[in-house]
Every structure is written in structure tokens, then in C-alpha cells.
């Protein structure tokens, strides 16, 4: 008995598990980031973030379970097996973003490729911790302490990765460079283990060379990640990209073809210089014609300054408060020559006050009243935007209006997204006495709709400003809908904060858009 104890003590002196604990931390950071990146890319490319995150998490966890189950059949050369797994995770995870973007551009089987990628990475990640624990069990005397440390470092790594990705990695590096960085970390972890525990590794020299070669390959891709991202991004857009910025909130891309400049947010077109005036004239001048006063105007969203440009055409406007969460967006549109010339420097006009804040929080906390509120948000294609189309939000908007004030909300397409459009209409009706839907044709968008709302008996006045599209003669046509744009609203639910039906409607309809 004493001989066995002495043997274990000697074994403990020879084996140092500290590097394994550090490795556990690193692989946990990488694995959670791979999961977040795959979910985010699928949401970015396919929409419906709830479904994409749910599928990714479910498949990933299940695949990890499969990996843990398979680990019981791995008995010999545990260090070699662990190094192989680390390298496999580094390669698959490191190239995951590149694979997904290329699959979206060049194939019609994106979903299948995504599922296979999730399952393979999940299986390999599921193998890592069981094999690590068996290495410790086989070589350490104080097994209980080291196993507890392994799981502690694993959980801490998950926390670090989940915080680092949205706050640091994604805003600074983007999808592709981040995955190459994580792949490099996985591969470096494997090399450190090779160097530290070479006496436990079969065919040490060959494995070391292979690992270094793989690391060099990933590092080359890491160093050229920005160039690769730019090249792939070019494949996502029809025209030449002249600007690309990743902000903490969204991806801003500007393209140009001849005289047509287009701005995209997260891949969705926001305006084209060829016809944006149609959209913004309808958005702004219809509510201004119904408003009894124009003194104070609130614009929620509209960080491009184009709605503000139209509002500034009214001489009786004394103040415009524009609330847009993304400072990089408003700074860009205030300072970029092409956009600022289009919005006629509206964001630098002394009448315009730009506030970079969450619009939901602004209307919730604001105590001042506005005569007109213009809501110009992107379509409700994710949960963050969906809350800006709920009955609770419109209740806050109503509280920000004067008694005879007017509100208008861009409401997606009544032709391509009928359920979504009339869901927004029905939701606004829960808060306002008079809700008037209207629409027009915007060539680059297609048929586009708006909802006008007020609580008093406001009457429409004459159009008193210069316009490119709107006339006294064609305004009436905006309020007429074709039979193929109407729907039985009794079959449509309102968009409640606690039951967000709108995002479900929108994600269903956008599939056929």
C-alpha cells in the first residue's frame, strides 16, 4: 500500500497539469465563440435570429453529447487524440465563417452545410473535456482537485468568450477574422501541449511539424482576414463597395454604380439615391399635412438624415430631435460628402439635435411633447427591432405626442409582407383612435407602406413644400390599396411585448420576398 502511494506521489511530481487547465480555458473561450458566430452569421444571412440561435445551440449541445459518448471508446494515446481534436476544432472553427459565407454565395444548400459544420465542431468540442479528465486521472494523484479545476476553467472560459465576442471581437474584427483568431488559439493550444508533454506523445516530431504547418496556414488567413472579408462582402452586393464599417450595432455598407449610391444596414437596403426621395417624401409630408403644428418634430431612427432634410423644408419647424442609437451611423451621414450632400447637411443644421440613444428608452423616459413623431426604423427582422413595433412602444410614443399630435411609422411592404404590414396597423390601433394606412411604389424597394396615427379629428391640409414626387393630385392614390394588398385583419394578432407575433409573420414572409 505504501509503495502505491509513493508511486502516485512520484507520478504527481513528474506530471504538471497547469497547462491543461490553461488549455481548458482557451478551448472553452473558442468553442462558445464558434457557437455565437455561427448563430450570428446565419441570422445575418438567413434572418429569423430566434430560429437560428435555437437551432445552433440545440445542434451544438446535442453534438457535444455525442462527442462525450464517443470519448468512452478512446482508450490509448490520449495526448495524441487530444492534439488531433484540438487541431480539428481549430481548422473547422477557424474556417467556419469563410465556409458559411461561401456557401451562401455559391451554393443552394447553406442550411445543410451549416448543420454539418455545427455537428462536427460540436462533436470534437464534446470530446475535449472527457479526454482531458482522463489524462488527469491517469497521470495525477490529486484527481478530485484537478477535475474540479478543469470544470471551473471550462465555465470561466465560456463566460469570457460570451462577453468578449459582442463587446470586443465582433465590433473590432468582424466574423471572418474572429474565427481565424480563434482557430489560431486552438492550434497554439495544441502546440503548447505538444511541447510541454512531448514524452507522452507518440511520433512527437511528426505531430509537431504538422501542427506548426497548420498554425502557419491559419495565421496567413488571419493576417489576410480583412482582405478575404472585403472580397466575400463584394460578392454579397451587386455594385462596387465604397465603404464598409462594422459598428457595435450593425454593419454599414455603401455601394456605388455610376450615380447610384446605396446604403445597406446588415445587408438590408436603406436607400438608393435614385429614388429615396419617394420614400422620404411619403414618410414626412403626409404626417406634416395632417399635423396642426410643426414646431417640434421627433425622428426615431432616420440616422441617414434624409427624413430630417424633408422636415427642414417647413419654415415653422423650430426644433428637430433625431434619436438614433448608432453614433457611427449619424457621424458617417453627417460627414461623408456623398451622404451629406444628399441629406443637404441636415444633421449639422442648428435646428437638428442628434441624440445617440436607444429609441425605446428615449420615449420611455422623455417628458417633453412633440407635434409630429416620425418613426423610420429598419424592418422588424430581429428581436431588438421587434420591440420597437409593439403596443407598449406605441403607448410610449403616444405619451410623447401633444394632444393633437401626429405619428407616422414605416411599416414594411403591404404587398410582399401583408401580414406584417397589417399586424403593425392593428398594433398601432390599440393606442390611437385614428390609424390611416398608406403606401407607394419605390422602385428599389417595391411597394412600401406606412401607418399614420393621431387621436383627434385632424384634417389634411395642402402640400406647401417643394417635392419631386408628391403632388396634390397623386396624394389621394397613396391611401388606396389593391385587393392583393388587403387581408382579413381578424386573422392577424397584434404585436404584444410578451407575444411578439410580428417577427414570426415577417420571417415567414421574407422567405418568399
Query: pLDDT, tens digit, for every residue of 311-324?
Result: 999 999 999 999 99
Q: Report the run of H or E that residue 265 belongs to, with start and end.
A: strand 260-265
| Mean pLDDT, rounded, for 166-184 | 92
Query: Is pLDDT above 50 for 287?
Result: yes
Please state the rounded mean pLDDT for residues 398-427.
97
Are 452 and 407 a contacting pair, CB within 8 Å? yes
- Cβ pair 180, 20 in contact under 8 A: no
Question: What structural domains and CATH numbers belong to the chain?
Answer: 2-233 (1.20.1250.20), 237-270 (no CATH), 274-510 (3.40.50.150)
pLDDT at 39: 94
List of residues 6+ apart from 485 with CB closer than 8 A? 414, 415, 418, 439, 447
Closest CA to 467 of 301, 187, 279, 316: 279
Of the ranges 123-137, 250-264, 408-422, 483-497, the best mean pLDDT one: 408-422
Residue range 285-292: mean pLDDT, rounded: 97
pLDDT at 18 over 90: no
Per-residue pLDDT for 88 more than 50? yes
C-alpha span between 51 and 55 (Å, rounded): 6
pLDDT tier, 141 (very low <50, low <70, confident <90, very high otherwise): low
Between these two residues, 17 and 121, which has the higher pLDDT value? Answer: 121
CA distance 103 to 65: 27
Q: pLDDT by residue (tens digit) across 396-407?
A: 999 999 999 999
Distance CA 176, CA 183 (A): 11
Handedness of CA 33, 35, 38, 41 (dihedral sign): negative
Residues 150/136, Cβ–Cβ less than 8 Å: yes
Kindly list the catalytic residues: 376
The pLDDT score that the predictor gives to residue 41 is 92
Mean pLDDT of the chain: 91
Q: Which three cell numbers stand for residue 123?
A: 462533436
pLDDT of residue 311: 98
Measured in whole angstroms, how far is the alpha carbon of residue 391 from the centre of its chain?
24
Name the nearest CA neighbour of 44 among 323, 236, 204, 231. Answer: 236
Mean pLDDT of the 96-116 span: 93
Tell me the C-alpha distance between 153 and 281, whole Å: 57
How far apart, in whole angstroms, are the C-alpha atoms of residue 493 and residue 500? 9
The arithmetic mean of pLDDT across residues 55-83, rounded, is 92
The more confidently predicted of residues 280 and 139 is 280
Whether 9 has a pLDDT exceeding 70, the answer reads no
pLDDT at 10 over 50: no
Indicate the pLDDT class of residue 14, thresholds 50, 70 and 90. low
pLDDT of residue 49: 82
pLDDT attached to residue 497: 85
Q: What is the structure's pLDDT at 8?
A: 41
Residue 159: pLDDT over 60:
yes
Amino acid at each position: 500500500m505504501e509503495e502505491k502511494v509513493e508511486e502516485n506521489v512520484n507520478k504527481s511530481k513528474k506530471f504538471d497539469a497547469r497547462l491543461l487547465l490553461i488549455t481548458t480555458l482557451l478551448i472553452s473561450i473558442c468553442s462558445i465563440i464558434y457557437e455565437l458566430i455561427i448563430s450570428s452569421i446565419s441570422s445575418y444571412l438567413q434572418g429569423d435570429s430566434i430560429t437560428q440561435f435555437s437551432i445552433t445551440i440545440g445542434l451544438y449541445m446535442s453534438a457535444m453529447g455525442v462527442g462525450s459518448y464517443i470519448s468512452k471508446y478512446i482508450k490509448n494515446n490520449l495526448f495524441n487524440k487530444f492534439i488531433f481534436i484540438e487541431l480539428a476544432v481549430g481548422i473547422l472553427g477557424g474556417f467556419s465563417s469563410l465556409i458559411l459565407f461561401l456557401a451562401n454565395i455559391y451554393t443552394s444548400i447553406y442550411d445543410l452545410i451549416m448543420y454539418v459544420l455545427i455537428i462536427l465542431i460540436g462533436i470534437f468540442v464534446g470530446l475535449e473535456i472527457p479526454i482531458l479528465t482522463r489524462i488527469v486521472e491517469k497521470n495525477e494523484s490529486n484527481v478530485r482537485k484537478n477535475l474540479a479545476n478543469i470544470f471551473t476553467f471550462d465555465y470561466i472560459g465560456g463566460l469570457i468568450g460570451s462577453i468578449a465576442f459582442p463587446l470586443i471581437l465582433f465590433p473590432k474584427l468582424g466574423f471572418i477574422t474572429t474565427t481565424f483568431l480563434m482557430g489560431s488559439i486552438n492550434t497554439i493550444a495544441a502546440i503548447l501541449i505538444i511541447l510541454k508533454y512531448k514524452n507522452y506523445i507518440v511520433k512527437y516530431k511528426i505531430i509537431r511539424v504538422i501542427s506548426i504547418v497548420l498554425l502557419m496556414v491559419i495565421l496567413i488567413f488571419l493576417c489576410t482576414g480583412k482582405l478575404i472579408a472585403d472580397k466575400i462582402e463584394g460578392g454579397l452586393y451587386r455594385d462596387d463597395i465604397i465603404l464598409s464599417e462594422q459598428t457595435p450595432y450593425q454593419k454599414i455598407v455603401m455601394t456605388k454604380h455610376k450615380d447610384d449610391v446605396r446604403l445597406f444596414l446588415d445587408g438590408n437596403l436603406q436607400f438608393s439615391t435614385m429614388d429615396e426621395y419617394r420614400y422620404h417624401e411619403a414618410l414626412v409630408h403626409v404626417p406634416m399635412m395632417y399635423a396642426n403644428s410643426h414646431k417640434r418634430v421627433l425622428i426615431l431612427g432616420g440616422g441617414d438624415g434624409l427624413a430630417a432634410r424633408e422636415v427642414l423644408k417647413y419654415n415653422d419647424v423650430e426644433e428637430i430631435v433625431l434619436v438614433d442609437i448608432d453614433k457611427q451611423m449619424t457621424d458617417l451621414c453627417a460627414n461623408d460628402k456623398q451622404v451629406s450632400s444628399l441629406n443637404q447637411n441636415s444633421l449639422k443644421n442648428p435646428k437638428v439635435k442628434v441624440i445617440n440613444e436607444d429609441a425605446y428608452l428615449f420615449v420611455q423616459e422623455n417628458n417633453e411633447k412633440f407635434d409630429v413623431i416620425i418613426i423610420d426604423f429598419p424592418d422588424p427582422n430581429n428581436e431588438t427591432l421587434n420591440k420597437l413595433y409593439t403596443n407598449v412602444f406605441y403607448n410610449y410614443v403616444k405619451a410623447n405626442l401633444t394632444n393633437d399630435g401626429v405619428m407616422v411609422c414605416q411599416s414594411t411592404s403591404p404587398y410582399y409582407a401583408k401580414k406584417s404590414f397589417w399586424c403593425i396597423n392593428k398594433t398601432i390601433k390599440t393606442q390611437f383612435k385614428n390609424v390611416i394606412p398608406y403606401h407607394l411604389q419605390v422602385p428599389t424597394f417595391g411597394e412600401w407602406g406606412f401607418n399614420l396615427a393621431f387621436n383627434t379629428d385632424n384634417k389634411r391640409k395642402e402640400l406647401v413644400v417643394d417635392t419631386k414626387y408628391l403632388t396634390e393630385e397623386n396624394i389621394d392614390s397613396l391611401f388606396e390599396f389593391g385587393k392583393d394588398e388587403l387581408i382579413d385583419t381578424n386573422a392577424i394578432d397584434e404585436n404584444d411585448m410578451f407575444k411578439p407575433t410580428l417577427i414570426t409573420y415577417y420571417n415567414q414572409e421574407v422567405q418568399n420576398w
